[in-house]
Amino acid sequence: MAKSTPAKKAWRSLTWLGVIVIGLIAVNLFGVLTAGGSWTPKLALDLEGGTQIILAPKLESGRQSVSQEQLNQAVSIIRQRIDSSGVSEAEINTSGQNIVVSIPGIPDDATINRIESSAKLEFRPVLVAAAPSTAAVGADGTATPTPAATVDPSLSSTPTAVPTNGSDLSWVTPALQAKYDAFDCSTIDTSNVAPADQPLVTCETDGSVKYILGPVEVSGENVSDATNGQKTTQSGATTGEWVVNIKFDEQGTKDFATVSTRLSGLTGVQNQFAIVLDGKVISAPRTLAVITDGNAQISGSFDQASSKVLADQLKFGALPLSFTVQSQDTISATLGSTQLVSGLIAGLIGLILVVLYSLLQYRLLGFVTVASLVVAAVITYLLITILSWREGYRLSLAGVAGLIVAIGITADSFIVYFERVRDELRDGRGLESAVEAGWKRAIRTVLASDAVNFLAAGVLFIVAVGNVKGFALTLGLTTIVDVAVVALFTHPTLQLLAQTRFFSEGHRFSGLDPRALGATYRGRAKFRPSDEVASAKLSSASREAAKRQTIAERKASELVGSSTDRSTDGKDS
């Protein structure tokens, strides 16, 4: 006999679930065999230990200390550098005048360099731009807005001759133009670099402008000083406009004089000189004059804060201070291991309580909850392991807490579904019909609840740092897994169980006995609500109808009631 439609749907859903699990296992297996993956997730600093690097600021001559604002800015930038490769659960804090960076495990050379070094600062001429910058640079500080335009040299006429200078459009080969066309500003990071003698495709820090830049013509190492202040006139009066003043060293003065002489004679975006920091353009001012004394001024839409940030970036690279490595040590995770055991015990206790509640409340139906939790755990574990391999994610104690919270979220979804099915049974439906009707009602509630959880996790992930970020990630991940498991395992399993004799006949240990739920038998395997339930529903319906009456309807009802009372009294007399 052919299977019913619900059964076919159930087997189809379970098949898709199997495909997902097998796919996750295959991806992880590929990582283990070919790309240095592992069957266990990497652990964070609090659980594994790692490396601690203490950075001491380089103080200028005559300066005894640095400001807390500069230290906080440096901490923020270092954290962004480390987190750019994934949620690594690193800890970056200040200790007096020093910055303490603690990284889980043994970091590679690239990570160490990312922490220790100031960002690479370069000055490159602009060859192509999607929209010119409005900033301008000149010896006298005069700023002239540049009208929006697009420069797109024809590929068919692009010369293949050797470029004669940094502004020569011969740099724009067909291959470079194709790279520029396909370049996505949203994916740019600090790894977006090019050799100093080669052009670079990059974007503004906010992604608003995309560039092809020529080779490096002035190095950031040749910036001897950069300050912000208000622009002044020849008479010494301030105009109220904030500008950034740059001073180059001897070599920088020579190089900048050469390039400003060339750029001042060009038009369009080729008149611009891009300042590139960490692979992104932080400013692309126009060149309004030949600058030979090594003192340049950048003007534009600055306020005091933004001009100070740009000045600090120009002077110190990405960091507001230069640092030296004071020490680099391996730190222990003995305390972290103890915390991990405590967290796992707490999770186990919570899991046991959920299982006991499910079995007491739903009897054998509670085993569906247990099986669903197992499936959710397997999928979550595989996802975390893959994230650990591909994205550098590390599981911290906060992440473990997120997984423990997920037990309650997942169990709550099952309870909502089971109670909806029980409500349908109380209304006299058969089990198969109750499962389908209950699912339609339950899925809306489950999706609404999980949407709120996911939104909270997403906001927390965006605004938080460190371990809290790991908690948000696991919470959001398990929320998605919850929806998948309820839809692809719990509901299909209940559809199949509804066709078994044990559950369909409402065995008293099934957890779906209509008699125990307040419904009475009405023949042909159907039930009707008991008198008490029916009376309660009728009373509730009457009260609801009374609430919906208008004032006129209520007065009319009261008059009819009064007339009936008087008529009855007359008969009695």
Three-state SS sequence of 432-471: HHHHHHHHHHHHHHHHHHHHHHHHHHHHHHHHCCCHHHHH
pLDDT class of 524 with cuts at 50, 70, 90: very low
Q: What is the pLDDT of residue 465?
A: 65
Fold of 5-42+333-504: Multidrug efflux transporter AcrB transmembrane fold (1.20.1640)
If you compute the radius of gyration of the chain from its CA atoms, what whole number of angstroms results? 35
Average pLDDT of the residues in 521-547: 50
* Highest mean pLDDT, choosing among 108-122, 303-317, 530-544: 303-317
| Candidate from 17-31, 58-72, 191-205 with smallest mean pLDDT | 58-72
pLDDT class of 375 with cuts at 50, 70, 90: very high
Q: Are 476 and 458 in contact (CB under 8 A)?
A: yes
What is the Cα–Cα distance from 109 to 116, expressed in whole angstroms?
10
Q: Is the pLDDT confidence value at 536 over 60?
A: no
Strand ranges in 250-356 using DSSP code E only, listed in sequence order: 273-277, 280-283, 286-287, 295-299, 323-331
**286 to 116, 120, 225: CA distances (angstroms):** 33, 22, 20
What percent of the chain has a predicted confidence (pLDDT) above 70?
Answer: 74
Looking at per-residue pLDDT, the higher value among 365 and 59 belongs to: 365
Q: Is the pLDDT confidence value at 214 over 90?
A: yes
pLDDT class of 382 with cuts at 50, 70, 90: very high
Q: What is the token pair recorded at 174?
A: 């067909």
Looking at per-residue pLDDT, the higher value among 476 and 312 belongs to: 476
Q: What is the pLDDT of residue 418?
A: 86
pLDDT class of 23 with cuts at 50, 70, 90: very high
DSSP H or E segment with residue 175:
helix 174-182
pLDDT class of 34 with cuts at 50, 70, 90: confident
Pairing of strands 136-138, 121-129: unpaired
Q: What is the pLDDT of residue 557?
A: 64
What percent of the chain has a predicted confidence (pLDDT) above 90?
Answer: 14
Question: Which has the closest alpha carbon to 272: 257, 256, 283?
Answer: 283
Q: Is the pLDDT confidence value at 149 over 50?
A: no
pTM above 0.75, yes or no: no
DSSP H or E segment with residue 123:
strand 121-129
Q: What b/e sequence results for 302-314 when a residue is b if at least 16 CB atoms lie within 10 Å of its CB, and e otherwise?
A: beeeebbbbbbbb
Domain map (residue ranges) of the chain: 5-42+333-504, 50-117, 121-318
Q: What is the token pair recorded at 164?
A: 């004669």
CATH assignment of 50-117? 3.30.70.3400
Q: What is the pLDDT of residue 227?
A: 87
How confident is the prediction for the chain on average, in pLDDT? 77
Q: What is the pLDDT of residue 196?
A: 85
pLDDT digits (tens, 9 = 90+) for 416-464: 888 888 888 877 778 888 888 889 888 988 999 889 989 988 888 888 7
Q: Is the pLDDT confidence value at 213 over 60?
A: yes
| Candidate from 156-165, 180-189, 258-267 with smallest mean pLDDT | 156-165
CA dihedral 431, 432, 433, 436 (to 10 degrees): 120
Looking at per-residue pLDDT, the higher value among 496 and 525 belongs to: 496
Q: Are 326 and 56 in contact (CB under 8 A)?
A: yes
What is the Cα–Cα distance from 9 to 487, expressed in whole angstroms?
11
Q: What is the token pair recorded at 526?
A: 């159907």
Q: Residues with Cβ < 8 Å from 257, sequence gap 6 or more?
A: 290, 291, 292, 294
Average pLDDT of the residues in 388-395: 79
Q: What is the pLDDT of residue 128?
A: 92
Query: Which DSSP state fits 472?
Result: H
Q: Are 351 and 370 in contact (CB under 8 A)?
A: no
Q: What is the pLDDT of residue 319?
A: 67
Q: What is the pLDDT of residue 543?
A: 57
CATH 3.40.50.720 fits 121-318, yes or no: no
Q: Is the pLDDT confidence value at 478 over 60?
A: yes
Q: What is the pLDDT of residue 22?
A: 94
Phi, psi angle pair for 128, to nearest 5°: -135, 140
CA dihedral 71, 77, 78, 83 (to 10 degrees): 140
What is the Cα–Cα distance from 370 to 351, expressed in whole angstroms?
9
Average pLDDT of the residues in 147-163: 49
Average pLDDT of the residues in 490-516: 80
